[in-house]
Amino acid sequence: MELRSASNQDRPAVEHLVFSVLREFGLSPDAHTDADLRDIEAAYIRPGGLFDVLVAPSGQIVGTIGLCPVSKSTCELRKMYLDKSIRGQGHGRRLLEHALTRAKKLGFTRITLETANVLQTAIALYESNGFKEYTPTHKSCRCDRAYYLDLA
């Protein structure tokens, strides 16, 4: 599987994957929370973050991961989703390790993320990689948990 940088041309496939996974877990796409997908390059890449996709040999996008800068030192891990056909094969760990490595190279010293309690496998992955739960000032409408990880 190839891991590559996404562009706005990937938007339809990215939205299809993200929204399909959300619905699979009983979560709804949200116009505000998912507005970052309307222009991946403007929301992630130009501000100094990244949005990468995992592509199957067939050319299908089967995974996504984004780092969105929220300050000079902090980025938010967003849109880490895998197609159900490839879960349980280590791809989630690969995406997370890639994001942590890239965040450090981009100069970030902290990563935050928000998630939903229903995503237990993802939560276990975050916690096993040292993410600590905290209470932010606000959370996205479909998220009920938030985590951070200091990279320094």
State the pTM of this model: 0.90
Q: Bridge-partner residues for 67, per DSSP?
A: 50, 77
63-107 pLDDT tens trace: 999 999 999 999 999 999 999 999 999 999 999 999 999 999 999
User: What's residue 33's pLDDT?
Assistant: 83
Q: Are strands 61-69 and 74-82 parallel, antiparallel or unpaired?
A: antiparallel
**Does 137 or 81 have the greater pLDDT score?**
81
Question: How far, in whole angstroms, is CA 80 from its chain's centroid?
Answer: 3
User: What's residue 138's pLDDT?
Assistant: 67
End-to-end CA distance of the chain: 30
CA-based torsion, 6, 7, 13, 14: positive or negative: positive
Domain 2-109 sits in CATH 3.40.630.30: yes
pLDDT of 14 above 70: yes
Q: Which helix (H) or strand (E) holds 40?
A: helix 40-40
What lies within 8 Å, CB to CB, of 128 at 6+ separation is: none
